[in-house]
């Protein structure tokens, strides 16, 4: 069966007068109320930007990628129709994906290949093929650990507190580290920043490695830090204080 590319539109990030990136207000989106669905990534890992609202407009179904911030905050499920999260960031190891979907979306599937058909998955209770047993086992351990720590309100505040520690260091660095996201939309999970140039960036990464910090990732444009549930914060804070 050949898959055809369907027409689609997308929303571009904007910049304010200080060059800070942000998602425009929902009223500025060009959303057609007849669209089949609207897909967005709730926490954009590379840009370091996290949505502060659910872009619900009329009856257009909302499909949300929450791979990097699932189980970090309460959600308004009345506005969400399908949420999926790849496990390797916040809820386990690579090999499984969690999906929550409203029943009415399951019934509307047409001309979908068998392995991608939500209706078949529901009918077979996700046993449409062999399951990745070990990744799912790890998921259950992580779920138990998350629940023991506290509610989603607790996790929301926890994620805000630890990310703010790093943002404070960035903002008080006198221009050594520069975050380019509007403050109101900064991610609680992925902290991005730039340095003066590639030479300074390379020096910074080398200092980090020499101090045992090997988790920093360098994109084409940014250095970014991932604060997933499994990621300790203390190393970053102590290193940056010494810098």
Q: Where are the domains of the chain?
A: 14-149, 152-242
* Residues whose CB falls within 8 Å of the CB of residue 60, separated by 6 or more in sequence, listed in order: 31, 32, 33, 35, 37, 38
Structure tokens at 225: 């830090």
- Residue ranges of the chain whose pLDDT lies below 50: 1-5
The pLDDT of residue 2 is 40
The pLDDT score that the predictor gives to residue 4 is: 45
pLDDT at 109: 67
Domain 152-242 in this protein, CATH class: alpha beta
Both structure tokens of 173: 């660095």
- Is 87 in contact with 139 (CB distance < 8 Å)? yes
Closest CA to 52 of 219, 185, 202: 185
- Closest by CA to 179, choosing from 198, 160, 166, is 166
- How confident is the model at residue 3, as a pLDDT? 41
Q: Which helix (H) or strand (E) holds 26?
A: none
Using the structure block, give the residue that is written with the tokens 């507190």: 161
Q: What is the pLDDT of residues 219-237, one digit of tens each?
A: 656 788 888 887 777 667 7
Can 14-149 and 152-242 be said to share one CATH topology? no
Nearest one of 189, 182, 195, 186 to 240, comparing CA atoms: 195
Collapsing DSSP to helix, strand or coil, 236 comes out as helix
pLDDT at site 108? 66
- Residue 174: which region, alpha, beta or left (left: phi > 0; alpha: psi -120 to 50)? left
pTM of structure? 0.87
Question: Is domain 14-149 in CATH 3.40.50.720, yes or no?
Answer: no
Question: Do 236 and 166 contact (CB within 8 A), yes or no?
Answer: yes
């Amino acid at each position: 069966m050949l898959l055809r590319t369907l027409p689609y539109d997308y929303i571009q990030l904007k910049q304010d007068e200080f060059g800070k990136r942000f998602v425009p207000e929902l009223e500025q989106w060009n959303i057609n109320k007849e669209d089949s669905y609207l897909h967005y990534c709730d926490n954009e890992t590379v840009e370091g930007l996290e949505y502060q609202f659910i872009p619900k407009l009329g009856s257009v179904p909302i499909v949300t990628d929450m791979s990097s911030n699932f189980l970090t905050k309460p959600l308004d499920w009345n506005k969400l129709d399908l949420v999926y999260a790849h496990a390797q960031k916040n809820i386990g190891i690579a090999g499984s994906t969690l999906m929550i979907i409203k029943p009415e979306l399951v019934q509307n599937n047409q001309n979908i290949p068998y392995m991608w058909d939500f209706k078949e998955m529901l009918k077979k209770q996700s046993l449409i093929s062999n399951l990745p047993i070990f990744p799912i086992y790890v998921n259950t351990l992580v779920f138990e650990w998350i629940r023991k720590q506290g509610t989603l309100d607790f996790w929301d505040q926890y994620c805000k507190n630890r990310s703010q520690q790093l943002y404070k260091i960035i903002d008080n660095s006198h221009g050594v580290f520069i975050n380019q996201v509007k403050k109101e939309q900064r991610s609680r999970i992925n902290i991005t920043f730039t340095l003066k140039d590639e030479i300074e960036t390379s020096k910074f990464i080398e200092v980090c490695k020499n101090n045992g910090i090997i988790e920093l990732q360098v994109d084409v444009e940014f250095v970014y830090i991932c604060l997933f549930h499994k990621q300790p914060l203390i190393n970053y804070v102590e290193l940056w204080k010494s810098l």
